[in-house]
Amino acid sequence: MKAAVIVFPGSNCDRDLADAITKVTGTAPQMVWHAETTLPEGLDFIGIPGGFSYGDYLRSGAMAARSHVMQAVVQAAGEGRTVLGICNGFQVLTETGLLPGALMRNAGLGFVCRDVRLEVANSQSIFTSRYAQGETVTIPVAHHDGNYFADEDTLNRLEGEGRVAFRYAEAVNGSARAIAGILNDAGNVLGMMPHPERLIEAAQGGTDGRRLFEAVQAALG
């Protein structure tokens, strides 16, 4: 599996994501700087990491969504390449329009940083095939603007099309219908607020995040 991780000014989880990909697949991803106008050829997987891209000025992810490299990512996603956006990466994906909705300030108006329980709402995607439907897993969160919002029609469509990948199994940030991660209509783009790359080996306190990367590797080879 040939992978790349996008790096913006203010990214702080890019190396965590790269390390997770390396440990699961055995191959290090290419690190792609935000100012690049093209992506490496032959990519199977593109990761957009967490952090505070461009200092979260304007809105979280808004400036990153307009960077040169994201134009190439949008094109790659449209061609069917697999894209994962985590935390700030999820915010970037909504700002580009690759995913619907928006991430707003947490309902409690504070930064949330802890392990949380998630329900696997769709186990049939590229990203979730190593989980069981309805299974509860533990994945860390670390965000200030993770409150997922969309209008009722969009929420109903996401539910009806099976595009909710993960839900919070406990109160976390006020997200509509407890949504923690969603898929695009083609199923090749996932945005999620929790950080699976932070729980891939026992030394980190658990391995529930590892199966997401294993699922992607199994699907893409």
C-alpha–C-alpha distance, residues 139 and 183, integer Å: 18
Domains of the chain listed by start with CATH number: 3-220 (3.40.50.880)
Mean predicted confidence (pLDDT) in 36-42: 93
Active-site residue identified among 34, 119, 143, 197: 197
Buried b (16+ CB within 10 A) or exposed e, 23-59: ebbeeebeebebeeeebeeebbbbbbbbbbbbebeee
- 52: pLDDT strictly greater than 90: no
Q: Is 87 a catalytic residue?
A: yes
Q: Is 79 a catalytic residue?
A: no
Checking DSSP bridges between strand 112-120 and strand 164-168, what pairing results, if any?
antiparallel
Task: Give the residues across from 112 on adjacent strands.
Answer: 143
pLDDT at 147: 96
Active-site residue identified among 13, 34, 87, 95: 87
Instruction: Locate all alpha helices (DSSP H) within 147-203, ordered by sequence.
Output: 152-160
- 8: pLDDT strictly greater than 90: yes
* Model confidence pTM above 0.75: yes
Q: Is 113 a catalytic residue?
A: no
Active-site residue identified among 13, 119, 143, 195: 195
pLDDT at 57: 74
Most distant CA atoms of the chain, gap in Å: 43
Q: What is the pLDDT of residues 98-137, one digit of tens each?
A: 999 999 999 988 989 999 999 999 999 999 999 999 999 9
C-alpha–C-alpha distance, residues 87 and 193, integer Å: 4
Report which of 38, 33, 125, 34 is spatially closest to residue 75, judged by C-alpha positions: 38
C-alpha–C-alpha distance, residues 65 and 1, integer Å: 25
Q: What is the pLDDT of residues 147-173, one digit of tens each?
A: 999 999 999 999 999 999 999 999 999
C-alpha–C-alpha distance, residues 198 and 140, integer Å: 7
